[in-house]
Amino acid sequence: MNYKLVRIEAVILVAFLIGTMFLGTVGSLSTHKTHEFSVEKNSNSYGDRETDDAFLDTKSYILDRRYVLEPPLQTLANDYDDAGYRRDAGDDISHSNAIYPGEMVDDTPGRGRTGKLGASGDDEDWYYFSVCRGQTIDISLVPPMGYNYDLSLWDKNENERASSSNPGSQAEHIDFVADYTGKWFICISHVSGSGEGQYSFDVDLIGQNDADTGSDAGDSFASATLISPGSFDGYLDMNDEEDWYKFSVNEGQGIHFVLKMKTIAILSDFDIYLYNPSGDMVYSENYYYDDELLYPADVSGQWRVRIKIFPGYTDIPQPTEWEYYTYGSGAYNLSFSLEPSAPEPPGPVPQPQITPIAQTFKISNDPDSNKDEYGYLASIPACNYLENGERYLSPIVYTGDETPTNWFGEDEDRGTVDDTTQYLLDDWETYLASHGKTPYEYEVPSDPVEAAAEIAVNNWDSSDLAVIAVDGSAYKDTVRTVLKRTKTLKRTVEV
């Protein structure tokens, strides 16, 4: 059987460097057609390597490196202080650590409630959090016995707004009503006590003031809070995952909302959903962080808008073999206006049919050069190409990368980049098996010139198109002796 496909327009890497050059072809591609199968397109659319200082001074960087540009922060191996970060919290307001009063306390970063002070040079711990105007900030601090710690609350302009400085080891407490929406800061400071001591603290945000109502906005279509055009603030957390608002619109008007939380909440994303008077969700904007929604009303009446945490705590995956990390909390700003009209929202961007190719290209990680990156580039035309308007795809992965992953956990739990890659391959192979296929595995040669040539020979019949690129190999001067003679020179010295 002839596995060669008809000619397609694709690109194969061709590289040269000074006197080193290789030429690859693009044309009729052979992709082991017995491994191919069609899959219906998904119609859903949802919007250390350290180096020396001399090299860093050049301000240029090599691919496949991890550059440490400043000393790493010291970690605390045996506990989760400060506030779950396992390192010292910032020592001034500009280096404050984020905490999340509206989320569970589970000792992940920002969700711990203990810390340490008193060690040499560690006299203050600073934290910040998101608050909606009108909420009461309730802060408590319990110092260790024999120590005196003080507590203070600061605003975004670095002004101290409240403080508590009881004598000795008495607990400290602050109650304060926020007069703006955004980030607020607390400072826990060491007054007296020998050596390092561990404190516990808590931050609660009491009450809500969504849309200046003095309470929480409605939590359903039926209980939505009435608003008119203007700018409003609100707050969401694990106990209040969504806010609903209703408003009157005339047919033909443009419904315009701008939802902002990127600079107000902390590492949290909220999405916005629009419902017509019949209760049908007609449009949404769900980019990460800030969203803008503009929609033409096709019927008069009371419409609704829903603000919801992503991913939140309820409507999330429920795996049994691992724990899904739920998060999201903080304040937001919602601006609402009615325009004379609005364009129809854009439809889905058309995508070509995707046909998976049951093959996996594997590239050995080379941390000391860029050759593996060029091998990756040489692999792309055989793993990602168009033919007759249809997209053919298969994975290209790196192997042999033992770099530890950086998710939070114990050292023995972290795993490596290879582990993460294997998760992808396991899913890929399971998917292929569900269609009765097994992937053909190709080990990409470490020499990118050889890789490009081999991939071209194995996958193309002919080509009239080529691309030239530097191959990433080291440059070496060629030295040729043109003339070499030995001569003894005589000299006379007069005194």
Q: Based on the fold, state whether residues 406 and 299 are members of the same structural domain.
A: no
- Whether residue 131 is contained in a domain is answered as yes
Q: Based on the fold, state whether residues 121 and 144 are members of the same structural domain.
A: yes
- Whether residue 489 is contained in a domain is answered as no
Task: Give the whole-angstrom CA distance, residue 150 versus residue 188.
Answer: 6
Q: Based on the fold, state whether residues 373 and 330 are members of the same structural domain.
A: no
Q: Based on the fold, state whether residues 144 and 226 are members of the same structural domain.
A: no
- Whether residue 83 is contained in a domain is answered as no
Q: Based on the fold, state whether residues 325 and 215 are members of the same structural domain.
A: yes
Domain boundary among 291, 308, 339: 339
Q: Based on the fold, state whether residues 129 and 245 are members of the same structural domain.
A: no
Domain boundary among 190, 206, 222: 206
Q: Based on the fold, state whether residues 183 and 286 are members of the same structural domain.
A: no
Question: In angstroms, what CA-CA distances link 188 with 82, 124, 375, 378, 462?
Answer: 11, 6, 53, 56, 71
Closest by CA to 447, choosing from 1, 17, 8, 87, is 17
Q: Based on the fold, state whether residues 201 and 239 are members of the same structural domain.
A: no
- Whether residue 85 is contained in a domain is answered as no
Amino acid symbol at 391: R
What does the pLDDT profile of the chain (495 residues) look like in tens digits?
Answer: 333 333 233 333 333 333 334 444 444 333 333 344 433 333 332 223 333 443 344 445 545 445 455 444 454 456 778 999 999 999 999 999 999 999 999 999 999 999 999 877 899 999 999 999 999 999 999 999 999 999 999 999 999 999 999 999 999 999 999 999 999 999 999 999 999 999 999 999 999 999 999 999 999 999 999 999 999 999 999 999 999 999 999 999 999 999 999 999 999 999 999 999 999 999 999 999 999 999 999 999 999 999 999 999 998 888 776 778 899 999 999 999 999 999 998 888 887 778 999 999 999 999 988 889 999 999 999 999 888 878 899 999 999 998 887 655 566 666 889 988 999 999 999 999 999 999 999 999 999 889 999 998 888 777 777 777 766 566 667 777 777 778 777 777 776
- Whether residue 151 is contained in a domain is answered as yes
Q: What are phi and psi of 231, to 5 degrees?
A: -120, 130
Q: Based on the fold, state whether residues 332 and 216 are members of the same structural domain.
A: yes
Give this prediction's pTM: 0.68
- Whether residue 323 is contained in a domain is answered as yes
- Whether residue 79 is contained in a domain is answered as no
- Whether residue 116 is contained in a domain is answered as yes
CATH number of the domain residue 305 falls in: 2.60.120.380
Q: Based on the fold, state whether residues 251 and 230 are members of the same structural domain.
A: yes
Element spanning 230, H or E: strand 230-236
Note down the domain range covering 389. Answer: 4-46+352-469
Q: Based on the fold, state whether residues 370 and 462 are members of the same structural domain.
A: yes
* Whether the Cβ atoms of residue 174 and residue 163 lie closer than 8 Å to each other: yes
Q: For the chain, what is the domain count?
A: 3
Domain boundary among 206, 239, 272: 206
Q: Based on the fold, state whether residues 233 and 300 are members of the same structural domain.
A: yes
